[in-house]
Chains A and B, each alone.
Chain A
Amino acid sequence: MQTNFTHHQSAHCENGVASNLLKHNGLDISEPMVFGIGSGLFFVYLPFLKVNYAPAISYRPLPGQIFNKLAKRLGLKIKRQKFASEANATKALDHNLKNNIPSGLQVGVYNLSYFPDEYRFHFNAHNLVVYGKTETDYLISDPVMENVTTLTHKELDKVRFAKGAFAPRGQMYYPIQIPEQVDFKSAIVKGIKNTCRDMLAPMPIIGVRGIRFVSKQIRKWPIKNGTKKANHYLAQMVRMQEEIGTGGGGFRFIYAAFLEEASKILENKELENLSKEMTVIGDLWRDFAVEASRVYKNRSTKADVYNTIADQLLYIADQEEIFFKKLKKVIS
């Protein structure tokens, strides 16, 4: 069985699944719109949590939040289910496919056989859509892939029940109700306000302050942990930042695209200017990644290089603080 689902590639998995599922249900919404209204831009530094033996830095909110916020702000209803047993999870998915409902799944990346081996890590916040089933395979639309692909029944079971942090527990979701009239204007305003609040939050580990905190830590890494570990931390940071559309530069460009689209819908010229400013900040993030990669590539042992990139990060934090304060003013 197969549903008449159309695959569109996206930069980030959760945006992509949301946008693709909504398009399938007759609501034409772009990836940047999903990202902006769902307040996908975020920053949090969790030094006490280690991922791949390095402190965790997340450039995105918790998995599922973008779609949930988007739904709330547009007045859509999404059904989300988690399962205790693999058999029930399979049954529910098959039932959906029989009723022509392509379904979003949260999955672990490690057993996704269509990813190159280097990308297979125990990371559980990936999203994809299942749009059909054959004797042996499930038909998969993974939004970060150019084309549709497949997973065997056993492989899909495995990725749905991957273990570890953010274990998906078979999580399945799909829109069940979409109103005839959707108010994009108020949803955009709510989404932007939320992002400004997050990025300017008065908390040391979140948003602009979180970025400053990391910058401070980078200066200490080589002294406290030695260059080898410091380089590893830095490489991990760049990976979380730039891998498959998540984080630093990539996210800023999606957000800039959102602001450009929003400026047309809200008929607010100021947002278009801010879109251009966000593009500049995105380029700064990319410059940071280039500099950081030089540090761990040459395995430079001078403590000075860490100060240089820490300064760079500090500059980004300053620019973002100015930016989000402006954005907050424009929207209120």
Chain B
Amino acid sequence: MTNTVDTKAHTGRTSRTDNWWLSPLLVGVGFALFIAYATVRAFENNYFEIGQFLSPFYSPKLIFDWWHFSPAILILWIPAGFRATCYYYRKAYYRAYFQTPTACSVVGTSGKGYSGETKFPLILQNAHRYFFYCAAIVLFILWYDAIVAFISPQGQFAPSVLGLVMVLNCILLSGYTFGCHAGRHLCGGALNCFSQTEQQKVRFRIWHFVTKLNEHHMGWAWASLFSVGLTDLYVTMVARGLATPIFFL
């Protein structure tokens, strides 16, 4: 029996011996890369449309005489706000950037000054459902874009790999958007009783389906983040002449 003098039971940041730092590191780097790419593309205001293909960063394309900057700025606040207030992303960036906490049982920040989401600005996280409503509208427009991508400017059926990529992007965005925690609450989670009226029974079935999506919300969040970035990358490469949509017909 040997003794190690340590007058307190808990000293230092943590006693964990596993790679607790890896997850917040990967999340932090992943978000930073996406944000940097999206910011550059949003302000570039070029190479976002070619033929029937429109980048998701610029959809819906809002062109006004009075607006002299990139039209992406007029629309990107919606998906950005939706993701920034998303319950999954909050967990991810609170850990990776805010260090509250860095990881479970690992001290990030400490002290009584912590107020969580009770005060400005973080109290605005409570507006998540409003971003959900707006994001759902944008998603329907992206579905419209994906369908239009299968029709050439001359009105002919023109299936392509890029069109399929846009559809896949919409599927992943739909899984993410409609598996949202706020949506889960609004469609049925707010009820205490699911069985008394026809309306409750319908809402229960919707809630049950949304719950299945919601169980994999993190997966949908990451998959759709990658897909929206890669879809834009493909569109811009085609617009720059560096790639082709690869038409099947």
Asked if chains A and B come from one complex, the reply is no
Please give the residue numbers on chain A whose beta carbons come within 8 Å of chain B beta carbons, in ascending order: none
Give residues in B with beta carbon < 8 Å to A: none
